Chain A
C-alpha cells in the first residue's frame, strides 16, 4: 500500500496503490490536507492501482471533499474499476463525486 502525490496542470494527483481502508485512511487524509494548506485547490484521486476500499476509506473521501469545497476547491476521482464503481453505486457516492474514466478526462474536466 502506498500513496503517491504528483502535480500536473495545476492539479494535485493522488495515486492510491493497494487498499484504502481503516488502517491507512488517515495517511491519505493527512497528505491531501497538507496539499490543501499549501494552496492546492484542484485535487484528483486516481484509483488505477487501487484494490478495495472500505467504509472508512469512503468516509475519508467524503470528508476531504467537504474540506476542499469549503476552501473553494474540488476533489474529483478517476480510473475506478468495475468493482469500485459498484461500491460507489451501492453507496450512491457516485452521485456525490465527479468520476472520470481516465486521468486525462478528469484533468480536462477541471
Chain B
C-alpha cells in the first residue's frame, strides 16, 4: 500500500524541499496544506500568506488535481513538490489527468450574473491569492504519460 506521505526535506542554501505523494482523496488535502504551511512558517512568510493565500490556493490546486485531473479515481495519486526559501514558495501539484486549458477555465465569479453561483471560484482564487499560476503538461503519470502540473508561486511577504 502506498503510504499517505513520502516526505523529503532537503535543498541547497536556505531552501527546503518537500516531496509528497498522496492518495487521490480530498481528505488528504488538509494535511498537505499543513506540511507546506509549516515550511513557509519556518521561512517567516507573512501571517496572511500563511492563513489565507497559501492554504486556500493550495487547497484549490489539490482539489482540482483530485477531482478534475484524476476524476476522483481512487486508483490514481497526486504528487506535490514544494520548494520554499526566504524569497518564495514554488509548489507543483501533479495529477494523472488528460490535461486542461487553465486560462480557458478562468472566469470572473464576481460579475452580477455569477456572484450568486455555487461554483467557479477555484481558479479565480488561485490567481488572486498567488503571484503566479502556471500549468504544464506531464504530471504524476510518469515519463511520457498523461498528467497536469499546476505550479503556484508565492513571493514571501512581510
Per the CB 8 Å criterion, the residue count for chain A at the interface is: 27
Of residues 9 to 27 in B, which have CB atoms within 8 Å of A's CB atoms? 26-27
**A36 CB contacts on chain B under 8 angstroms:** none
* Segment at the interface with B among A4-12, A37-45, A50-58, A102-110: A50-58
Known: A55-B121, A62-B118, A91-B124. A23 touches B30 (CB 8 A): yes
Q: Please state if A90 and B29 are interface contacts (CB–CB under 8 Å).
A: no
Give the number of chain B interface residues (Cβ < 8 Å).
27
B121 in complex: contacting residue of A21, A58, A66, A95, CB < 8 Å: A58
Does A100 count as interface, using CB distance less than 8 angstroms? no
CB neighbours of B115 from chain A (8 A):
91-93, 95-96
CA distance A19 to B34 in the complex (A): 11
Indicate whether A63 reaches chain B with its CB closer than 8 angstroms. Answer: yes
Instruction: State how many angstroms separate the Cβ of B49 from the closest Cβ of chain A.
Output: 10
| 13 A-B contacts (beta carbon < 8 Å) | A22-B29, A52-B55, A54-B56, A54-B60, A55-B63, A55-B125, A62-B117, A62-B118, A86-B52, A90-B129, A91-B109, A91-B121, A91-B125
Residues of A within 8 A of B (CB): 1, 19, 21-23, 51-56, 58-60, 62-63, 66, 82-83, 86-87, 90-93, 95-96
> Interface on B for A, CB 8 Å cutoff?
26-27, 29-30, 48, 51-52, 55-56, 59-60, 63, 67, 109-110, 115-122, 124-125, 128-129
